[in-house]
Amino acid sequence: MPRYVALLRGINVGGKHKLPMKDLAAMFEQVGCSNVVTYIQSGNVIFDAPAAFARSVPVVMHDAIAERFGYDVPVVTRTGAQVARVLEANPFDGVPENEVHVFFLSKKPAASKVAALDLERSLPDELRVVGQELYLHCRTGMAKTKISNVWLDRQLGIVSTARNWKTTQKLAELAAS
């Protein structure tokens, strides 16, 4: 069975939407995923599932979390191979790793929406859309940038969730094992 990564947005951040990883892993198992592993407290889940079922995981898990915890938590998934390709496609190669972040998008954005993005919104930060990801070279730190999930979702008309480079590397490693 293929290995997948689920990326949940906005849980256990700033004391909001508390969701223990032990409970989250159990929920993934209850819906039919296997070999479930979580990574840190911010909603990263690695799991095995048949491809047809894995496509439904974002909706299934969104609904399960809403029912059990009352949270509206967007879920984005990637195959392990897709996460590995995210590492390879980094347009900011050579930039200090602590300045690179990846926004995983729920689907590939329309070219017209990408072209309309305000690239000067948060100077000196830089952003690049590559396929189904937006890479952010965040020189000022995530606390100071004006590039956020809410802004990005509104601009592109899709759902996003961000991870720092170190976390993205670890997720690729876990999904490959």
Indicate whether 18 pLDDT > 90. Answer: no
Q: Where in the chain is the domain with CATH 3.30.70.1280?
A: 3-81
In this prediction the pTM is 0.94
Identify the pLDDT of residue 159: 94
Cβ atoms of 37 and 45 closer than 8 Å: yes
Give the homologous superfamily in CATH for domain 3-81.
SP0830-like domains (3.30.70.1280)
As a whole-number percent, the residues of the chain with pLDDT over 70 amount to 99
- In DSSP terms, 134 is beta-bridged to 103, 129
Beta carbons within 8 Å of 133's beta carbon, 6+ residues apart: 86, 89, 102, 103, 104, 105
The pLDDT of 134-142, averaged and rounded, is 92
Beta carbons within 8 Å of 119's beta carbon, 6+ residues apart: 126, 127
Cβ atoms of 38 and 47 closer than 8 Å: no
87-164 is a CATH 3.30.70 domain = yes
Please give the radius of gyration of the chain, using alpha carbons only, rounded to the nearest integer: 16
pLDDT digits (tens, 9 = 90+) for 93-119: 999 999 999 999 999 999 999 999 988
